[in-house]
Amino acid sequence: MSAEAVEKKGPLAGIRVVEFKGLGPGPHAATLLADLGADVVIVQRPGEIPPAGHRDPIQRNRRVVEANLKDPADVEKVLGLLERADVLIEGFRPGVTERLGLGPDVVLERNPRIVYGRMTGWGQEGPLANAAGHDINYISLTGVLHAIGREGERPVPPLNMVGDFGGGSMFLVFGILAALVERQTSGRGQVVDAAMVDGALALSHMMWSFRGQGAWSDERGVNMLDTGAHFYEVYETSDGKYMAVGAIEPQFYALLLKGLELDPADLPHQLDKAAWPEMKKVFAEKFLTKTRDEWSEVFLGTDACVSPVLTFAEAPQNAHLVARESLIEIDGIVQHAPAPRFSRTPSGEPAAPAAEATDIETLWV
């Protein structure tokens, strides 16, 4: 991306965001904002722009400026940039930006309208606030990690989607947008303390609700949505691939049985938990009689809530994803298209990660 300002399209066009370079959820939040039209600028140390072919797609669609945040002169330049910004995103441990002279008190004094977004795992206070951690640690204390896995087996880390991105970047974006809406009334910015541990708890709302009603067991793999139920499971097919089954509602379950050529009169009631283990064996034997693609044809166009389990390599060829153009290619790398979609202010095509730095003193002037 050149040093010239790029026309931004989307509902956030006109919003200026400064992102202190980091890892994981902070950059992901910035990507989501940039995809929706925000003018996002990454602040990073001099000489950190990698050569072509090694640029991280998570840094797409924004410009880069270079600054040494331990140099008072460069800090002053960054403060000048922040005076012209609407949002700041930082993902350092608590207290780091304060020691750099870029903490909320300083920045909000220079720009009372700025939304100061802070992305951490543990939050800005509490006994673990300054402890290191990763997604797996943040979700382990919330009960979420314990709940994911099969009966009698160890918990399974759900990639890094629940803590880093679901509980982290998505809640940071949510907080930033809420603060921008509130600013329209008050005229003032504020600090957004987005902690992955808090977001993961919010995402697990349904499980906490079920548990409070006595409908969720802490025993892993015996509940309706954790592979305990035969109608919410993954089954192997004859070619060693898999089908995903999510036929929760009775009308969908009836269509599932029809596709499997099973007579409901010969089977126990769908919600008879005592029969779930035996029914899983029945379903497993059935799915092993056809290939994944053959089962896909059986259930295609039905409401049985049965779908093939695709790999990342296969997903770009899926007819639905192709029709919606849900995956796009930028600089030879397949990645997600901007989401969600807007009827009146659609997002533009994302640009590749910056190949050169922009002069910090020429931005937004």
Q: Which residues are catalytic?
A: 134, 164
**Distance between CA atoms of residues 161 and 167, nearest Å:** 8
Written as six digits, the tokens of 115 are 């939304």
Q: Do residues 36 and 330 make contact, with C-beta atoms less than 8 angstroms apart?
A: no
Alpha-carbon 182 to chain mean position: 24
Phi, psi torsion values for 195, nearest 5 degrees: -115, 135
Identify whether the C-beta of residue 214 lies closer than 8 Å to the C-beta of residue 220.
Answer: no
Q: Which of 59, 1, 64, 4 has its CA nearest to residue 34? A: 59
Alpha-carbon span 156 to 167, nearest angstrom: 17
- Assigned token pair, 289: 């009689």
DSSP 68: -
Q: How many CA atoms lie less than 13 Å away from 70 in the CB half-sphere?
A: 2
Q: Please enumerate in sequence order all residues whose Cβ is within 8 A of that of 309, keeping only pairs 6 or more positions apart, or say none.
A: 234, 241, 242, 243, 244, 292
Phi (first) and psi of residue 145, to 5 degrees:
-60, -40
Is the Cα dihedral 71, 73, 79, 85 positive or negative?
Answer: negative
Q: Which residues, 6+ apart, have CB-to-CB distance to 282 below 8 Å?
A: 230, 262, 267
Query: How far apart (Å, rounded) are the C-alpha atoms in residues 339 and 314?
Result: 21
Q: Which of 352, 340, 329, 338 is nearest to 59 (CA)?
A: 352
